[in-house]
């Protein structure tokens, strides 16, 4: 067991991948000598050289598109997109090509490309540096999407993503890059299914589902609720596509109430999908409507008001009050 930050855990996960798989390689803007703007790839070019850690031209469509070609040739590229808001020049390649290659070849071609995207707000940054666009990708069949919330998952998920034969997008909660935690590097990691949700805290009155940056917020809200005598179960979704509905359904059957919290706008978001599925699967167990806590239907606002935008403990507690009032 070693303690490290999420950023360091991903760095170590990438290092392990590069060491174990000679056909794996990293691609992205500024990932070489600089080590990426968040230093997630720090030191890797020195260890593995410029053929394995490729400092690319400044072109997201180019990065994703060439990664597809490399994957078709048997390589396992891991692409870094510098910030959430800059993935869109590559959106065409991701959604029209990467996601569909396996299906349109009737299963004969696989494109195991991994795309790492730092996402989410709370860092006081300028435009396009704080967005949560996961729903735009989750809506596209053919992509798998995961998001770690702690260093242990960060370390293993990136390695598991590379081993997965499907394209995987890893949304990395950038405001948690410096969050420290235990990583069990000896764990039978690959056996820990990255697409399964984890129940982080047991409870009986309501279930809160969160992922990525909001997991610590959900846990803190559950702790606060406990002081008021409420028992809240917290689930870290971990995977956004596929979603582990079995774990969520089982929890809701026990608690009878569900709150889904994410930073992305609620309209058209992942929370809506979970609400609809759970209504179908556990209608008779529900004692209140599923309540979504999320961002507003607006462009991510300027830094000075992001506190009003981001779901916090109070927003989750308010949702809990509403759920319990039925």
Partner 1 sequence: MGTHLPSTEFDGTAVDDQREADAEAVMGEPPAQMVQLLGPDGKLGADPVFSEYADKLTPEDLRGLYADMAAIRRFDVEATALQRQGQLALWVPLTGQEAAQIGSGRASQPQDYIFPTYREHGVALTRNVDLAELLRQFRGVSNGGWNPKDTNFHLYTLVLAAQTLHAVGYAMGIQRDQKLAASDRAGRQPDAAVIAYFGDGASSEGDVHESMVFASSYKAPVVFFCQNNHWAISVPTNVQTRVPLSNRAKGYGFPGIRVDGNDVVAVHAVTEWALEHARQGKGPVLIEAFTYRVGAHTTADDPTKYRHSDEEDAWRAKDPLARLEKYLRAEGLADDAYFAKVKSDGDELAAYVRRTAHDLENPDIRTAFANVYAEAHPLVAEELAWFEEYSAGFAGEEESAGQAAKAGH
Cβ closest to ligand TPP, residue 29 vs residue 306: 29
For the CB of residue 89, give the shortest distance to ligand TPP in the complex, in Å.
Answer: 5
Cβ closest to partner 1, residue 41 vs residue 247: 41
Q: Torsion angle, CA of 190/17/83/150, rounded to 10 degrees? A: 40
Distances (CA, A) of 182 to 5, 49, 109, 187, 201: 9, 29, 38, 12, 17
Residue whose C-alpha is closest to residue 207's, from 192, 225, 195: 225
Token pair of 242 as six digits? 């596929």
Query: Distance between CA atoms of 146 and 178, rounded to whole angstroms?
Result: 19
43 contributes a contact to partner 1 by CB under 8 A: no
For the CB of residue 56, give the shortest distance to partner 1 in the complex, in Å.
Answer: 8
Cβ closest to ligand TPP, residue 12 vs residue 60: 60
Catalytic-residue membership of 198: no
Residues in 220-279 that interact with partner 1 by CB under 8 A: 220-221, 223-225, 227-228, 267
Residue whose C-alpha is closest to residue 291's, from 324, 246, 242, 314: 324
Q: What is the binding site for ligand TPP (CB under 6 A)?
A: 29, 58, 60, 82, 86, 89
The item of ligand TPP, partner 1, none sharing an interface with residue 313, based on CB under 5 to 8 Å by kind, is partner 1
Q: Please, how many CA atoms are within 13 Å of residue 93, restricted to the half-sphere of its CB?
A: 20
Cβ closest to partner 1, residue 196 vs residue 297: 297
Contact by Cβ (8 Å): 102, 111 = yes
Label the pairing between strands 144-146 and 239-241.
antiparallel
Query: Distance between CA atoms of 307 and 315, rounded to whole angstroms?
Result: 11
For the CB of residue 58, give the shortest distance to ligand TPP in the complex, in Å.
Answer: 5
Site stretch for partner 1 (CB under 8 A), options 11-19, 25-33, 231-239, 275-283: 25-33
For the CB of residue 65, give the shortest distance to partner 1 in the complex, in Å.
Answer: 10
Site stretch for partner 1 (CB under 8 A), options 103-111, 167-175, 202-210, 316-324: 316-324
Query: Which one is catalytic: 102, 128, 129, 297?
Result: 129
Q: Active-site positions?
A: 129
């Amino acid at each position: 067991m070693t303690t490290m930050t999420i950023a360091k855990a991903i760095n170590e996960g990438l290092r392990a991948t590069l060491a174990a798989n000679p056909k794996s390689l990293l691609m992205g803007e500024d990932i070489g000598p600089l080590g990426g703007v968040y230093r997630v790839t720090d030191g890797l070019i020195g260890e593995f050289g410029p053929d394995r850690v490729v400092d690319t031209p400044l072109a997201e469509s180019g990065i994703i598109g060439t990664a597809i070609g490399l994957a078709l040739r048997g390589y396992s590229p891991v692409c870094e997109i510098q910030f959430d808001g800059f993935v869109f020049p590559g959106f065409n390649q991701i959604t029209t090509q990467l996601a569909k290659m396996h299906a349109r070849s009737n299963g004969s071609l696989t494109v195991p490309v991994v795309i790492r995207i730092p996402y989410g707000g709370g860092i006081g940054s300028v435009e396009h540096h704080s967005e949560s666009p996961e729903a735009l990708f989750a809506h596209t069949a053919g992509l798998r999407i995961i998001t770690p919330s702690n260093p242990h998952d960060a370390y293993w998920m990136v390695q598991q993503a590379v081993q997965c034969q499907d394209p995987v997008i890893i949304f990395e909660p950038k405001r948690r890059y410096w969050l420290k935690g235990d990583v069990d590097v000896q764990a039978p990691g690959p056996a820990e299914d990255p697409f399964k949700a984890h129940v982080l805290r047991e409870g009986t009155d309501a279930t809160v589902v969160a992922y990525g940056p909001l997991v610590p917020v959900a846990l803190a809200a559950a702790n606060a609720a406990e002081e008021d005598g409420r028992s809240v179960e917290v689930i870290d979704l971990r995977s956004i596509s596929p979603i582990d509905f079995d774990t969520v359904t089982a929890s809701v059957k026990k608690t009878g109430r569900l709150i889904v919290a994410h930073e992305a706008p609620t309209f058209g978001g992942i929370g809506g999908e979970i609400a609809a599925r759970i209504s179908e699967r556990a209608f008779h167990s529900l004692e209140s409507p599923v309540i979504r806590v999320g961002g507003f239907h607006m462009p991510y606002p300027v830094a000075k008001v992001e506190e009003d935008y981001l779901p916090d403990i109070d927003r989750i507690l308010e949702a809990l009050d509403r759920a319990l009032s039925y």
